[in-house]
Amino acid sequence: MKSWDEVHRLNSTGVMFGCKYAIKLMKEKGGSIVNVSSRSGVVGIPGAVAYAWSKAAIRNHTKSVALHCAENGYKIRFNSVHPATIMTPMWDAMLGEGEQRQQIIEDVEFGIPLGHFGEPIDVVYGILYLASNESKYVTGTELTIDGGILAGSEAKPRK
């Protein structure tokens, strides 16, 4: 229960407070808030239930707050990004070291339609778009940055 609470306090409650105080500061002039969720907030993850649940909460919270701001005439847009398979230190424990690491990377990449892990900069560019005026008519949406994983199935035969 302690780890569940910690994950939710950081992911869900942290985002809620961030949105709450951002609205107070931004409701007169407007702007854009981009919350970071995860592909895990869109699909079930049996080995990380608390994480997936907290990321799903961010997804729904973002949509709800976007509608709240629109209904109240606040010119604040709220959107979320949903990255997956982005090569960050978060993967280190799952990938291991040495030859084993390389084999696991290849196995994971086999299930990614684009064939490789993403880089943090790929997420940054998505956030930059949603935060910019180029997305001035975008609110309550989610941008999946996953190399095409959610577009199809990971169950494909090896070539």
Active site residues: 51
User: 136: burial class by Cβ within 10 Å (0-12, 13-18, 19+)?
Assistant: exposed
Using alpha carbons only, what angle is made at residue 155 by residues 153 and 159, rounded to the nearest 5 degrees? 120
Q: In what order do the strands lie in the sheet with 76-83?
A: 31-36, 76-83, 142-145
Distance CA 155, CA 134 (A): 36
Q: Tell me, what amino acid is at 66?
A: A
79-to-40, 51, 60, 100, 143 alpha-carbon distances in Å: 16, 19, 10, 38, 8
Helices (H), the chain: 2-8, 14-26, 49-71, 92-95, 98-110, 120-131
